[in-house]
Structure 1
Amino acid sequence: MTTNKENNYEGLPRYPESYWLDSVERPEFPPLTDHKETDVVIVGGGITGITTGYLLSKEGYKVSILDGDRIFNGTTGHTTAKVTAQHNLIYDELIEHFGVDFARTYYEANTHACGFIRDFIEEHGLDCDYEEKDAILYATKEKTVSKLEKEFKAYERLGIPGELADSISINVKAKKALIMKKQAQFHPLKYVLKLVDEFIANGGVIYENSTAVDIMTKSETGQRLTVETAEGATITGNYVLSCSHFPFYESEGYYFSRLSPERSYIIAAKGNTEELDAMYLSVDQPDRSIRTVKINGENYLLIIGDSHKTGQGEPMMKHYENLKTFGEEAFQITDIPYRWSAQDLYTLDKVPYIGPISTNHTDILVATGFRKWGMSSSTVSAFILRDYVLGVDSPEMEIFSPDRFDMDPSLKKFLKENINVAKYMIKGKLEPTDKRPEEVEIDEGCTITVNGSRAGAYRDFEGKLHVVDTTCKHMGCEVEWNNGERTWDCPCHGSRYSYDGEVIEGPAEYPLDRIDPEEKLS
């Protein structure tokens, strides 16, 4: 394990690095290189895909999982890892828009998912730092106190164990708090690695560095579904399950117009954890989420927040600095060995899309839009996807169905999000470039002009200039520089690229075009 301490600047590590990924050894799996046959193809090697694969393999299905990178490199490796059904302020809103039965089913599904995680850990005697903790929402502003009180009334209507409190034990001026009892936190990768072991033992197969880009449907093949990869390989099955965070197959459902990407930031810090007896989340902006984590046997803090639309807003490094300032004031933090960020997708009505990708293709299933609550939502997804394949009906299938489209609040949100996309689609094309190539400094990323066209440049610590075309490969928006991660991020649909153009996060499937810095630049 490394801590990056030698590279600290302004009290923060020079490079982003997830503690979860740095603290475990992951197995390596070969890429898919030719044609294979299976029963079920799962695209995405995170907690959703692995859990679904495990459940189906237990039922005797032949299951193959494809990941475009290494397993866990996406959201699973960068999560906050709270195991809870307390998903911020949600239950009052669900009752208002969809009714009590809908809200109760949502709660029961997530509570069942949390119970599955607990029981799996106990059954296998896993040492994954699992700790039962209360989950606490708190309000720091008078105007949000009433929202907590309404949420508590929703708890009472739904039979959710909880209570209101006038104060909290940490050094934050809270006016009111809402407690959901007996939730949990853990080390997510130590847990998922055991699921991988069990999946492999059941005959499951994993392919890494295999980027799924398209599906030949049954109407095209005349028989079964065939997944095609960017590397030229294929795999055929009766079902394809898209568990890749953003759905990789976009011929159906128009998910790019129904999902909103947000980034949030995390620092791991040494500080005062004596009063931190629960997991905390503010309901006000700027958002703050706090929990403890064991690093080398010692208690550290995880401080999370400063959420914003991907590719939009102030320089990204500022968000880490904001969390550091908050930590210094509230917990007297003195050491920050890790910082990293995560990307989450929001649906139009805040409820995940889980089920058939469209009414036209009930053999292609999707799970997405977990809104920062991936530990329980991924497990809910796994059970729903398993039941679809088994032909078993359940109440959860209806409420999480991607086909739902409620006029309130979905239509308003749909229009708002797509107006925002249109704004940034135009804005990026009209923005002037920042500098001339020779003016780009060490460890700086900015836009330049290459032969009359906009391009992105980054100069690494060895002085090498990396230049890419800034037109996103998804739908042609102009990507923006993220100085906190040294990436190019798309403000329209959330695609992210490394400074030399490689895809980090979809929906884009192909890298940015690279430009030879030796060409004549202007």
Structure 2
Amino acid sequence: MSNYYDELPQYPESYWLDSTNRPGFPKLDKNEKAEVVIVGGGITGITTGYLLAKEGVDVTILEGDRIFNGTTGHTTAKITAQHELIYDELIEHFGENFAKIYYDANTKALDFIRNTVKEHGIDCQFENKDAVLYGTEEKSVRKLEKEYEAYQKLGIPSELAGSVPFNVDAKRALIMKDQAQFHPLEYLAKLLDEFLAAGGKVYENTTAVSIMTESETGADELEVETSDGHFISCHKVLSCSHYPFYEAEGYYFMRMHAERSYIVAAKGNVEELPGMYLSVDKGEKRSVRTVKINGETHLLLGGEGHKTGQGEPTLTHYENLYEFGKDVFEITDVPYRWSAQDLYTQDNVPYIGPVSALHTNIFVATGYRKWGMTSSTAAAHILKDYVLGNDTPEMEIFSTERFHADPSLKHFFRENWDVAKHFVKGKLQFGQKDLDDIKPGEAAVVRIGGNRAGAYRDEDGELHLVDTTCTHMGCEVEWNNGERSWDCPCHGSRFTVDGDVMEGPAKKGLSKVDDGLS
């Protein structure tokens, strides 16, 4: 394969974030009170805050970084209930009723977004598009036909086709009718305005680290503690922070795994596509949709998913997408590239509900498996109903307490064996380079004073040295050359070149290391 590094943007940047004017919010600098505290300023947190504020609930949102910065700002932004090949699997493991509730919850989420865009007149590139799964391999044909049979059982408007409208040899395509795509942050900006107008509060650069429960506070309230030592007293806490910042007895790090995936935005040989596309072939999955950038049609080409901190050098994944774009769409310009991190549960269904059976006023929403636009919106409605004391069928199927031996037990053992394997592998890995051999823009694992360290030399020649032992469970982090970060292969924590936490479950940053030369 050719090396396309020079044809890709030097640094990753999301088009959604670059094209959105985000308001700034203060950092929490004193103790406060609220009825409900939402941790996380992405689509789940903001949508939930919007819904609750409309009901007259006093809500405060805490965001550890900037609003929209997380997975929400790095999505493909497909609004669809077609979550890859899921419905045949759900029927097989859980039954038709479970699968139907799952589909209905995500369809209601799509309808909510569509109606909200219309109600508020939001200019967010909202377009009705069919969602299409396609396969180029014979083994994919039977999978798509089985999924179509599941659609028929559930009454999902759909059809089977024999091709897709671009240059791949698709042998079968499964179309889910009347789905949508949009610019997620332009949509969320309006919901945020409405939330603030209804009295909601937002604090940025405010990291929630723990919760004091009612038994610990000695009162009928919870206290959310921030990394700066401030507290917000409240009655309910909603963890909408991608990875739950508070796990209690939920042990989510043992019940989920993290994957990264990649997107390039590029000009190509198409002016428009009638749908949003995703291949289902084993291994090389590809996601395709269009978007307007500065008034011109661009393609968003995604895929290359892998477990965080594992696999080949991450820049290679961007190059693979670029090569796909050249072959299929004759792409000529790539103004943006970015990546996202997503969490997978053991049974591929999100966890939405009380964090554990012992903490019924603390809630989580996590494990969206790359389908965050509808999953997050469905989660917001479920969390709203928990807060308001309503009871709905969705609460049961998305319950955090559910466990089904098939497939959960199989996935539990597989994922935790994988963690153990990478834990041992990292401990046996020695330094790869000497410090003097690391060039500007490069990083490597080195040995300093007999200990493993991560070294990155920035473009000005300055070295950034960190201890490579992840502060979550002690695994050894690996260098991500696509995003210039240190990533943990065990549970998906990610850190900057200076060791600051970018993604949980880790709460504490990597220790800095002295090279002994200064």
**2:59 corresponding residue in structure 1:** 63
Select the residue among 189, 192, 199 that pairs with 2:195.
199
Whole-angstrom distance in 1 between the partners of 2:235 and 2:460: 50
Unaligned runs of 5+ in 1: 1-7
**1:138 corresponding residue in structure 2:** 134
Whole-angstrom distance in 2 between the partners of 1:508 and 1:245: 13
Q: What TM-score, normalized to structure 1?
A: 0.97
Matched, 1:468 2:457: no
Could you tell me which amino acid in structure 1 is paired with residue 45 of structure 2?
G
Post-superposition shift, 1:440?
0.8
**2:334 corresponding residue in structure 1:** 336
Q: Deviations over 1:72-128 (max 9, x none)?
A: 110000001000000000000000000000000000000000000000000011110
Q: Deviations over 1:27-69 (max 9, x none)?
A: 0111111110000010000000000011111111100000110
Select the residue among 302, 308, 315 that pairs with 1:304.
302
Post-superposition shift, 1:470?
0.5
Whole-angstrom distance in 2 between the partners of 1:105 and 1:267: 34
- Classify the secondary structure of the residue corresponding to 1:10: helix
Select the residue among 481, 497, 514 that pairs with 1:516.
514
Whole-angstrom distance in 1 between the partners of 2:268 and 2:362: 47
- Classify the secondary structure of the residue corresponding to 1:34: coil
Post-superposition shift, 1:169?
1.1
Q: Deviations over 1:463-484 (max 9, x none)?
A: 1111001111111110000000
**2:386 corresponding residue in structure 1:** 388
Contact 2:289 2:301 in 1 (8 A): yes
Whole-angstrom distance in 2 between the partners of 1:236 and 1:421: 37
Identity rate, percent:
66
Contact 2:247 2:355 in 1 (8 A): no
Whole-angstrom distance in 1 between the partners of 2:126 and 2:378: 19
Select the residue among 133, 142, 156 that pairs with 1:160.
156
Contact 1:33 1:232 in 2 (8 A): no
Aligned residue runs from structure 1 range 111-510, under 5 A: 111-223=107-219, 224-274=221-271, 276-284=273-281, 285-510=283-508
Post-superposition shift, 1:9?
4.3
| RMSD between superposed Cα atoms in Å | 1.0
Select the residue among 28, 33, 36 that pairs with 1:37.
33
Select the residue among 31, 47, 55 that pairs with 2:43.
47
Whole-angstrom distance in 1 between the partners of 2:12 and 2:21: 18
> 1:275 and 1:69, CA in 2 relative to 1: closer, same or farther beyond 3 A?
closer
Contact 2:248 2:356 in 1 (8 A): no
Q: Deviations over 1:250-292 (max 9, x none)?
A: 2320000001100000000011124622100000121100000
Could you tell me which amino acid in structure 1 is paired with residue 238 of structure 2?
L
Q: Deviations over 1:454-510 (max 9, x none)?
A: 000011111111100111111111000000010000001101111111111111112
Post-superposition shift, 1:436?
1.0
Could you tell me which amino acid in structure 2 is paired with residue 461 of structure 1?
E
- Classify the secondary structure of the residue corresponding to 1:514: coil
Whole-angstrom distance in 2 between the partners of 1:273 and 1:353: 39
Whole-angstrom distance in 2 between the partners of 1:151 and 1:280: 16
Unaligned runs of 5+ in 2: none
Moved over 6 A (4+): none
Matched, 1:81 2:77: yes
**1:5 corresponding residue in structure 2:** none
**1:22 corresponding residue in structure 2:** 18
Contact 1:20 1:187 in 2 (8 A): yes
Could you tell me which amino acid in structure 2 is paired with residue 151 of structure 1?
E
Could you tell me which amino acid in structure 2 is paired with residue 276 of structure 1?
L
Contact 2:272 2:290 in 1 (8 A): no
Could you tell me which amino acid in structure 2 is paired with residue 454 of structure 1?
R
- Classify the secondary structure of the residue corresponding to 2:312: coil
- Classify the secondary structure of the residue corresponding to 2:6: coil
Whole-angstrom distance in 2 between the partners of 1:516 and 1:39: 45
Post-superposition shift, 1:520?
4.5
Contact 1:267 1:303 in 2 (8 A): yes
- Classify the secondary structure of the residue corresponding to 1:515: coil
> 1:484 and 1:110, CA in 2 relative to 1: closer, same or farther beyond 3 A?
same
> 1:275 and 1:298, CA in 2 relative to 1: closer, same or farther beyond 3 A?
closer
Aligned residue runs from structure 1 range 77-116, under 5 A: 77-116=73-112
